[in-house]
Amino acid sequence: MNKTKETLFNKLRTESIASSYSAIKGNRHNLRIKFLILFIAVIICTFFFSVHINKENYEISELGLDVGMAWTNKTLEAEFSFPVYKSKDEQQLDIAEAVQKVLPVFNFDESVPYKASQQLNFLIEDYLEKTNIINDSILDLLSIKSTKLSESGKIEVKKRELKKIQKAIQNFFDKVYRAGFVDVLTENIRRSEIAARISNNEELLFPSQNLSDSSNIIEKAEKYFQKQLQDGYESVALQFLKNTLLPNLKYSAELTEQSEGLAAQSVPLTEGIVKKGDIIIRKGEIVSKESLKKVNSYNRSRFMLNEPTYSPWSFIGRFGHVLLLFSILVIYLFYIRKRIFYDNLQMAIICVTLVLASFLSWLSMEIPANFPVEYIIFLPALSMLCAIVFDSRTAFYITVTMSLMLVGIRGNDYDTGTTMLFAGTLAAYTVRDIQSRTQIFQSFLYIFLGFAVPVLSFGFERSADFVTIGYRLGVTAINSALSPFITFGLLFILERLTSITTDLKLSEYSNTNHPLLATMNEIAPGSYQHTMSVAVVAERCAIDIGANNLLTKVGAYYHDIGKIKKPEYFIENQIGGDNKHNSLTAKKSAESIKQHISDGIKLAKDYNLPQRIIDFIPMHHGTSLIRHFYAEAISENPEADIKESDFRYPGPKPNSKETAIVMICDTAEAVSRLASNDREKFERALEKIIQEKLLDGQFDESNLTFKELQTIKETCLRSLSGMSHQRIEYKEIPIKSAE
């Protein structure tokens, strides 16, 4: 009864392992979900192709022309008369020149001279009325030295001299206010004249060189009073002047801005007209600046006439356009990268990347900016992310698709599309063999080079000025500097939100001091040595056939961690001890051997190992037959009905080249110990093992070719033979007898 229960338990455990992988496969390999993901992505990208907020900007750029290109369409003839619009650069330049000529506007206060005079009169009259005693200090100040004068005489002298001072100050007022006294520093006025607003329709102009301000008015007054007054009187005049002088011109930022706005609006946006029937550009003609302006003006005029540009058929056409671009990538994935194609999570990541690139391309058309915003699209960052998550070849195809999407969304913008394609390709290949996260930031120079070469090439071809080329290079430098940071941030988010494990993440588990490996080395040293040998050989095999050598090595490190639970049941750990299987039936022995698969998966999950590593635990045996105990069971009871399924591992079979390599190397390493001194015997045994697994269907899902199998066999033979080479037995030095 107990035996029956144990058999049932082992069967249920085996079925649970297989069913868990079936569930994962069902959720991540469902075709309906895959097509839904692709359909949603295509619809979103079609939206970016079809809907434009800044429609005028899109319509004008839809032809994708630039100076130096050839007009490949038929000869374009004007169907109606239209004005020739200046280019945006010309318009901006003309507006800047017009604004530059605008004079700063000041409010002119005509009452200030009168107020200053009244204030001066008030101060002098008040002084004369309230001061009846003339002391020596006042007389000294007025340079009246005579002491023979009577009190009334002194007052009369004082009045007479003050009147002279008052007249001098009044004359100075007239001179200053005629030239203009401003409330700002004259050194900040950059124009030769200023405008004084008297009323809404009347202005006066004042030469800037004649203006006075608070910094130079006293100096001017001193010079003036020295000529008009006697010695000593100028200081009295300055005292009165400081208490009465007011600026009659007050700067108005609001009025100045209004004048600048009016000047900008008054700049003509056109420069001529094309009449109906005139030839705009002929077929084969090289596009010049003038012809480009005419073509763009014609397209703009058509838009302003509200000609229909969108229709249901137009949307269907754009949907087909996007579908074609997606098909390029999907076909590649289906035939070359089946592992990615059949994984819905990875397909979703690719679709999100394409949608994000499309959104950035669309945004570059909608944002009104005075700089080349198209060069700030972070397509190289997305290319690097794809190279790290998938591989450089897949990243290249994704980059091609993103670049074509950009060209279409931006209205046939060939220059920007080609630039992004080249920069994105270089960016993807710079992280091809990345081993640490800091290497991402080394891509800056390569990305900038990828931008600089096309920008310079197209700039020289189109005869662009050096200022424009330098401006574009500056924007691309910003893109190049920010792209590694964006890649790093997106990679961090992706690793936290999904089960995707990049090679960067795998490298963190390649340290042999990992707690699991350290425990194996302590508890199951024989299995640990076996694991290290398998990892070395498997890594070489992966390099030789072009598989992921890092994934293969790390997967080999952890493929047998389940043996930690019961190390004594495995021959490599039975050093000088009893063989546990001697006391078990063949079926029980097979079950104890198979248990290291379920134990390994549990340990791996307890230590949060990535799924890419966990896959190696069941797949390195697949559904192989445990031949030794199966043969032993038949020998023990030849008449019994022995079920082969009871002696097979739970699976699943290897689904990648990397897991298949570890399967072969695991068996090859064990066989090499049996035939360590006989290379021919080892080669025959290895050939037989590979043939048996091939015929047993263990490699059906791994995509291994016969040529790659042959390469793996030769690498295993060469590597394992070298590991187990013979050594000569050194003789002992004979001890000479004493003479």
Q: Which residues pair with 199 in a beta bridge?
A: 202
Residue with tokens 């900016």: 369
Which positions ≥6 away from 66 have C-beta within 8 Å?
287, 292, 414, 415, 458, 462
438 CB burial (10 A radius; 0-12, 13-18, 19+): exposed
Q: How far is CA 150 from the centre of its chain?
A: 94
d(CA 658, CA 702): 8
d(CA 147, CA 145): 6
DSSP code, position 311: -
Q: Does the predicted model carry a pTM greater than 0.85?
A: no
Cα–Cα nearest to 211, from 184, 172, 242: 184
The 3-state secondary structure of 406-447 reads HHHHCCCCHHHHHHHHHHHHHHHHHCCCCCCHHHHHHHHHHH
Return left, alpha or beta for 703; rule: phi > 0 is left, psi -120 to 50 is alpha, else beta.
left
Packing angle of the helix pair 466-497, 444-461 (nearest 10 deg): 140
d(CA 496, CA 500): 9
427 CB burial (10 A radius; 0-12, 13-18, 19+): buried
d(CA 18, CA 594): 13
Q: Are 84 and 297 in contact (CB under 8 A)?
A: yes
Tokens standing for residue 125? 């009259």
Q: Are 570 and 524 in contact (CB under 8 A)?
A: yes
Return left, alpha or beta for 179; rule: phi > 0 is left, psi -120 to 50 is alpha, else beta.
alpha
Q: Which pairing describes strands 270-274 and 249-251: parallel, antiparallel, or unpaired?
A: unpaired
d(CA 233, CA 59): 77
Tokens standing for residue 593? 């051997």
369 CB burial (10 A radius; 0-12, 13-18, 19+): exposed
DSSP code, position 607: T
Other CB atoms within 10 A of residue 556 CB: 29
Asked if residue 454 has a cis previous peptide bond (ω within 30° of 0), the answer is: no
Return left, alpha or beta for 213; rule: phi > 0 is left, psi -120 to 50 is alpha, else beta.
beta
Q: Are 225 and 168 in contact (CB under 8 A)?
A: yes
d(CA 87, CA 565): 77
pLDDT of residue 154: 46
d(CA 626, CA 646): 9
Tokens standing for residue 376? 């700030």
Mean pLDDT per 10-residue segment, the chain (739 residues): 45 45 59 93 92 60 64 81 84 89 92 88 74 46 44 57 84 91 90 88 89 89 83 77 88 91 90 88 83 82 64 85 95 90 92 96 83 90 93 94 93 89 94 71 89 92 82 93 91 84 83 91 90 94 91 93 87 71 79 89 91 92 87 80 84 91 92 72 88 91 90 90 54 53
Q: Which pairing describes strands 193-199 and 105-108: parallel, antiparallel, or unpaired?
A: parallel
How far from 43 is each of 333, 342, 355, 405, 695, CA to CA, in Å?
20, 21, 10, 13, 45
Tokens standing for residue 523? 């508890």
d(CA 459, CA 468): 8
Other CB atoms within 10 A of residue 287 CB: 19
Residue with tokens 């199966």: 630
d(CA 549, CA 536): 10
pLDDT of residue 27: 64
Q: What residue ranges do the domains of the chain occupy?
A: 2-50+318-500, 67-86+268-310, 100-263, 506-723
Cα–Cα nearest to 50, from 409, 373, 405, 346: 409
pLDDT of residue 76: 84
Which positions ≥6 away from 490 have C-beta within 8 Å?
381, 382, 385
d(CA 711, CA 715): 6
Q: Are 173 and 117 in contact (CB under 8 A)?
A: yes
What class has domain 506-723? Answer: mainly alpha
- One-letter amino acid of 718: R
pLDDT of residue 502: 80
How far from 20 is each of 15, 24, 238, 344, 565, CA to CA, in Å?
9, 6, 100, 17, 21
209 CB burial (10 A radius; 0-12, 13-18, 19+): exposed
